[in-house]
Amino acid sequence: MKKIGKGSWEQFWLTYKNKPGSLAVLICVILAAAITVGVLFSLIIYILVNGVVHLKPELFAWEYNTSNMSMMPAIISTVYITALSLLMAVPVGIFSAIYLVEYAKRGSKLVKVIRTTTETLQGIPSIVYGLFGYILFVITLGWSYSMLAGSVTLAIMILPLIIRTTEEALISVPDSYREGSFGLGAGKLRTVFKIILPCAVPGILAGVILAIGRIVGESAALIFTSGTVAQVPGSLFDSARTLSVHMYALLSEGLYTNEAYATAVVLLVLVILINAFSGFIAKKLATR
Amino acid sequence: MDKYTIENLELFYGDFKALKNINMKIQEKEITAFIGPSGCGKSTLLKTLNRMNDLVEGCKITGTVKLDDQDIYGKIDVNLLRKRVGMVFQKPNPFPMSIYDNIAYGPRTHGIHSKAKLNEIVEKSLRDVAIWDEVKDRLNKSALGMSGGQQQRLCIARALAVEPEVILMDEPTSALDPISTSKIEELAMDLKDRYTIIIVTHNMQQAARISDKTAFFLLGEMVEFDKTETLFSVPKDKRTEDYITGRFG
Amino acid sequence: MRKYSENIMKIVFLTAACVSIIAVILICVFLFASGVPAIKEIGVSDFLLGDSWKPNQDLYGVFPMIIGSVYVTAGAILIGVPIGLLCAVFMARYCPKGLYKVLKPAVDLLAGIPSIVYGFFGLMVIVPLVQGSLGGSGKCLLTSSVLLGIMILPTIISVSESNIRAVPEYYYEGSLALGATRERSIFRAVLPAAKMGIMAGIILGIGRAIGETMAVVMVCGNQAIMPDGLTNGVRTLTANIVLEMGYASGLHREALISTAVVLFVFILIINLSFMALKRRADR
């Protein structure tokens, strides 16, 4: 007697012919996944198809002026602001995670408070960060619209992300490593820096890359902190616009759609690269 | 009457042959026990009887398994097969909902929505497994609050509620204490008047206590299949004898 | 010497851990200190319930924006939750391994695309589509809801997916063994077990939607009036801030900060319910 395969259409028909409800649900499920992927691909393809033609070499000129909306200064500012924010958030985030995982007593009151606050920070919308940065750094501390004000604001914004990913990375280091190191007479500090942190580097790195993605994509938190000046900043206290802010500025002026397309392409490619890299590291982690 | 007729059944997980040329007939309204050391294929065979093996990726089957002369690997509706062949799992697995909804889940699945009818089914099923009096006042409480033994009986009641013909039990007492175990065993013996029961057990005494027929499996092969009394008193195969006298396993 | 450095570093770690506490306190203090006086000056009910926002006449009623934010968020949830949840079901229960390798990074990428790019896409694609099929300017409540619905998809999907995956397999098998179809088993036995986690995901999505700024401001029309109809313009709390902060001064500027305070209070409530639900889901 011939068997019908588990995945065959015949079997499918036999299973669903009396169950129209289930069949409808199945179709909805597949449709939902198709819509999700479809939206993503149509967005990417739309931006790339319409944008690539506008990627002119002069858009990468050093100087931004009224006749040439070069995005080069914005690219450089993006790099500066990313580097500055990471410089502040990464050490604080890692140290904070080390305290939570290696030093704090489980379930202590302080740990609970820290957890609640990091979760709160994670939920605050970027526009609120922007206004906070504006009030505290720009106005109260008198830094005016500046790279520094923008970077500190972003550093606070990405802090919970760094803390969480580092925590996860530290927790996944087996306890036997700690015991092994203590067994050799190493102190806690030495164990943390020589044994545990090196093991956790890939996990931390994946978090840092995600944070870079958030910084590159951020606009609402920067407009009122680092401002929108489209020149290469000369000092920490100069205003600077990142690529995302550059794109917003182009769009809100309403005259520079083509340049906005080109900027969108650059942003999109950056984000895709960042995501791919973070995915690559995560995969490395999983196969380890 | 033969309920199941299994002919030349072989089962593969990828390249691994988990069942080798199984031929057996399982009698209606009896308890048939499958015994053998772990990994011998007894649970795998049980799962071919209601096609739960379909869930396992790379699982292939040759040969035939007939339920009342119908090839269950032929052109049939698997959902209907599973309605006819109920299953009780190793670990009690009540759904995270009320006791009432657990029992009503099956009937609702098969189109019964009348409140009166459902009430009747719930009461009858719970009486069948003898926990009606224990739970009748908390039918709307979560089933997860019951004890392990109660949960397992609830799961049996849940299986009974869809009016199956066969009940497959996959080591149903391995997660339970001795008192709960003996209750489940009594229950199984009560139920065999109305249902065909096939039970996988790693506990030879259990098989000897409750089953009418016993099949002994080793490394994917059915070594011996006979009346329980005969198999335990005068085993024909040396390997069966070694196993039941405790020389390995 | 070693003891000394051990102690120093322990204090350094502790200090770092306290930074997030300090940050939250600073945010609360500065936001409330700058926003609350203006609310007092305008009058609590005039500010929260006043239905006209006309800075040139010193009228600062944020009620239209509160309602705008609520409507837009509700619309986003109406669109994003069903699609996201079904997609999560597909990824957790149906997706072949090969396809998963495409789908998972796609969802991650969806989360990584900058809001401004979403806004641009909305402006160039969804706005003309809505304009063409339903008339009006196309910059409206519906467009904003669709765009935000897309933007919260990755949040809903990843939280739901991980919660569905965490449900023990025996619920699914138990249901199948009763003769239920695969779909019924997933939706009636597996999903109820993941309910709390999925709710937490939805609340997280609400937070994202209500706080989203740059994308919404591009497509919502920005009329500071009570929203009246799917194809009419709305203005959200977030849009209100971005649109006017650049040039506002005096009481106007303070009123905008007060707008952020209202938004912040919303977010705090949402956050607290998220944390409460997550804690229940983890148990």
Give yes or no for B56 touching C (CB within 8 A).
no
- Give me the residue from C173, C181, C189 closest to B89, CB to CB: C173
The pLDDT assigned to B87 comes to 95
Residue pair A83/A158 in contact (Cβ under 8 Å)? The answer is no
Could you give the 3-state DSSP secondary structure of residue B137?
Answer: helix
Query: What is the DSSP annotation of C217-257?
Result: HHHSB---S---STTS-B--HHHHHHHHHTT--HHHHHHHH
Residue pair B111/C178 in contact (Cβ under 8 Å)? The answer is no
| CA-based nearest residue in chain B for residue A9 | B75
In the numeric block, which tokens belong to residue A245? 């802010």
Sketch out chain B's domains with CATH numbers: 2-244 (3.40.50.300)
Beta-carbon contacts of residue C82 (< 8 Å; ≥ 6 apart): A32
Residues of chain B short of pLDDT 70, as ranges, are 248-249
Residue A107 binned pLDDT confidence (cut-offs 50, 70, 90): confident
CA angle A18, C175, B112 (to 5 degrees): 55
Give yes or no for C188 touching B (CB within 8 A).
yes
- Print the domain residue range for C223: 48-282
* pLDDT over 70 (residue A288): no
Residue A64 binned pLDDT confidence (cut-offs 50, 70, 90): confident
CA angle C25, C202, A124 (to 5 degrees): 20
Q: How far apart are CA B100 and CA B143, in angstroms?
A: 8
Least reliable range by pLDDT among A1-15, A83-97, A231-245, C268-282: A1-15
CA distance to partner chain B, nearest, from residue C178 (Å): 5
Give yes or no for B158 touching C (CB within 8 A).
yes
| One-letter identity of residue A174 | P
Asked if B52's CB is within 8 angstroms of C175's CB, the reply is no
Rg (CA), chain C: 23
Give yes or no for B58 touching C (CB within 8 A).
no
Beta-carbon contacts of residue B236 (< 8 Å; ≥ 6 apart): B224, B226
- Give me the residue from C83, C184, C218 closest to A251, CB to CB: C218
**Number of residues that this document lists for chain A:** 288
Going by DSSP bridges, is the β-strand pair B59-67/C59-60 parallel, antiparallel, or unpaired?
Answer: unpaired
Asked if B86's CB is within 8 angstroms of C176's CB, the reply is no
- Give me the residue from C27, C117, C184 closest to A267, CB to CB: C117
Asked if C157's CB is within 8 angstroms of A117's CB, the reply is no
| A31 class by beta-carbon count within 10 Å (0-12 exposed, 13-18 middle, 19+ buried) | middle
Residue pair C46/C268 in contact (Cβ under 8 Å)? The answer is no
The pLDDT assigned to C203 comes to 93
Q: How far apart are CA B177 and CA B151, in angstroms?
A: 12
Give yes or no for A6 touching B (CB within 8 A).
yes
Beta-carbon contacts of residue B200 (< 8 Å; ≥ 6 apart): B33, B34, B35, B42, B43, B46, B168, B169, B170, B171
pLDDT in tens, C1-42: 667 888 899 999 999 999 999 999 999 999 999 999 999 999
Cβ count near B28 (within 10 Å): 14
Q: How far apart are CA B176 and CA B181, in angstroms?
A: 6
pLDDT in tens, B161-210: 999 999 999 999 998 999 999 999 999 999 999 999 999 998 899 999 99
CA distance to partner chain A, nearest, from residue C151 (Å): 10
Going by DSSP bridges, is the β-strand pair B59-67/B2-13 parallel, antiparallel, or unpaired?
Answer: antiparallel
Residue A1 binned pLDDT confidence (cut-offs 50, 70, 90): very low
Give A172-237 as a 3 state SS string: CCCHHHHHHHHHCCCCHHHHHHHHHHHHHHHHHHHHHHHHHHHHHHCCHHHHCCCCCCCCCCCCCC
| C10 class by beta-carbon count within 10 Å (0-12 exposed, 13-18 middle, 19+ buried) | middle
CA angle A6, A10, A11 (to 5 degrees): 35
- Give me the residue from A35, A125, A264 closest to C263, CB to CB: A125
The pLDDT assigned to B56 comes to 85
Residue pair C9/A189 in contact (Cβ under 8 Å)? The answer is yes
* 8-state DSSP, A256: -
Handedness of CA A153, A154, A160, A162 (dihedral sign): negative
Asked if B79's CB is within 8 angstroms of A3's CB, the reply is no
Asked if C180's CB is within 8 angstroms of B89's CB, the reply is no
- Give me the residue from A6, A10, A18 closest to B75, CB to CB: A10
The pLDDT assigned to A2 comes to 39
CA distance to partner chain A, nearest, from residue C136 (Å): 20
* pLDDT over 80 (residue A8): no
> Which run of H or of E encompasses A81?
helix A72-98
Query: What is the DSSP annotation of C75-102?
Result: HHHHHHHHHHHHHHHIIIII--HHHHHH
Residues of chain C short of pLDDT 70, as ranges, are 1-2, 283
In the numeric block, which tokens belong to residue C127? 């706005």
Give C131-185 as a 3 state SS string: HHHHCCCCCCHHHHHHHHHHHHHHHHHHHHHHHHHCCCHHHHHHHHHCCCCHHHH
In the numeric block, which tokens belong to residue B55? 């869930």
| CA-based nearest residue in chain B for residue A15 | B77
Averaged confidence pLDDT in chain B: 92
Beta-carbon contacts of residue A162 (< 8 Å; ≥ 6 apart): A89, A90, A92, A93, A94, A97, A204, A207, A208, A211
Query: What is the DSSP annotation of A45-69?
Result: HHHHHHHHTT--GGGG-S--BTTB-
Going by DSSP bridges, is the β-strand pair B2-13/C59-60 parallel, antiparallel, or unpaired?
Answer: unpaired
CA distance to partner chain C, nearest, from residue B105 (Å): 8
- Give me the residue from B54, B64, B76 closest to A1, CB to CB: B64
**Total CB pairs under 8 A between chain B and C:** 64
* pLDDT over 50 (residue A65): yes
Q: Is B111 left (phi over 0), alpha (psi -120 to 50) or beta?
A: left
Asked if B83's CB is within 8 angstroms of C188's CB, the reply is no
- Give me the residue from A1, A6, A14 closest to B76, CB to CB: A14
Could you give the 3-state DSSP secondary structure of residue B131?
Answer: coil
Asked if B78's CB is within 8 angstroms of A1's CB, the reply is no
From residue A107, give the alpha-carbon distance in Å to each of A104, A115, C79, C272, C274: 8, 10, 39, 19, 20
The pLDDT assigned to A245 comes to 94
Within a domain: C36: no
Contact list in A for residue B54 (CB cut-off 8 A) is: 6
Beta-carbon contacts of residue C28 (< 8 Å; ≥ 6 apart): none
**Total CB pairs under 8 A between chain A and B:** 23
- Give me the residue from B87, B96, B97 closest to C177, CB to CB: B87
Residue pair B211/B31 in contact (Cβ under 8 Å)? The answer is yes
Report A:10-29 residues touching B (Cβ under 8 A). 10-11, 14-15, 17-19
Count of the separate structural domains present in chain C: 1
From residue A4, give the alpha-carbon distance in Å to each of A51, B15, B76, C132, C186: 50, 20, 10, 50, 25
* 8-state DSSP, B7: E
Q: How far apart are CA A162 and CA A155, in angstroms?
A: 10
- Could you list the beta-strand ranges (E) of chain B: 2-13, 16-27, 31-35, 59-67, 70-71, 85-88, 166-170, 196-200, 213-218, 221-227
Within a domain: C215: yes
Asked if A1's CB is within 8 angstroms of B71's CB, the reply is yes
CA distance to partner chain C, nearest, from residue B106 (Å): 6
* 8-state DSSP, A2: P
The pLDDT assigned to B35 comes to 94
Least reliable range by pLDDT among A198-202, A242-246, B95-99, C236-240: A198-202
Residues A64-73 have a mean pLDDT of 82
Residues A70-98 have a mean pLDDT of 94
More confident residue, C165 or A175: C165
CA distance to partner chain B, nearest, from residue C166 (Å): 14
The pLDDT assigned to A7 comes to 62
Against chain A, the chains showing at least 3 CB pairs within 8 Å are B, C
Within a domain: C7: no
- Give me the residue from C170, C180, C184 closest to B91, CB to CB: C170
Contact list in A for residue C112 (CB cut-off 8 A) is: 213, 217, 271, 274-275
Residues A158-169 have a mean pLDDT of 94
Give yes or no for B198 touching C (CB within 8 A).
no
| One-letter identity of residue B59 | C
* 8-state DSSP, B129: T
Asked if B89's CB is within 8 angstroms of C170's CB, the reply is yes
Residue A183 binned pLDDT confidence (cut-offs 50, 70, 90): confident
The pLDDT assigned to C1 comes to 60
More confident residue, C84 or A106: C84
Q: How far apart are CA A238 and CA A233, in angstroms?
A: 5
- Tell me which of B50, B54, B57, B82 to substitute to probe the interface with C (most C C-beta atoms closer than 10 Å): B82
* pLDDT over 80 (residue A5): no
Give yes or no for C280 touching B (CB within 8 A).
no
Contact list in C for residue B96 (CB cut-off 8 A) is: 171, 192-193
CA distance to partner chain B, nearest, from residue C278 (Å): 18
Query: Which CATH number is C255's domain given?
Result: 1.10.3720.10
In the numeric block, which tokens belong to residue B50? 């209601």
Closest CA to A100 of A171, A46, A29: A171
| CA-based nearest residue in chain A for residue C187 | A25
CA distance to partner chain B, nearest, from residue A6 (Å): 7
| B144 class by beta-carbon count within 10 Å (0-12 exposed, 13-18 middle, 19+ buried) | middle
Cβ count near A175 (within 10 Å): 8
> Which run of H or of E encompasses A166?
helix A147-171
Q: How far apart are CA B54 and CA A6, in angstroms?
A: 7
**Residue matched to tokens 């505290």:** A136
Going by DSSP bridges, is the β-strand pair B196-200/B31-35 parallel, antiparallel, or unpaired?
Answer: parallel
Query: What is the DSSP annotation of C11-56?
Result: HHHHHHHHHHHHHHHHHHHHHHHHHHHHHHHH-HHHHHH---EEGG
Within a domain: C24: no
CA angle A24, A27, A30 (to 5 degrees): 150
| CA-based nearest residue in chain C for residue B80 | C179
In the numeric block, which tokens belong to residue C160? 């739901």
Contact list in C for residue A43 (CB cut-off 8 A) is: 113, 117-118, 121
ipTM score of the complex? 0.92
Q: How far apart are CA C235 and CA C250, in angstroms?
A: 22
| CA-based nearest residue in chain C for residue B51 | C177
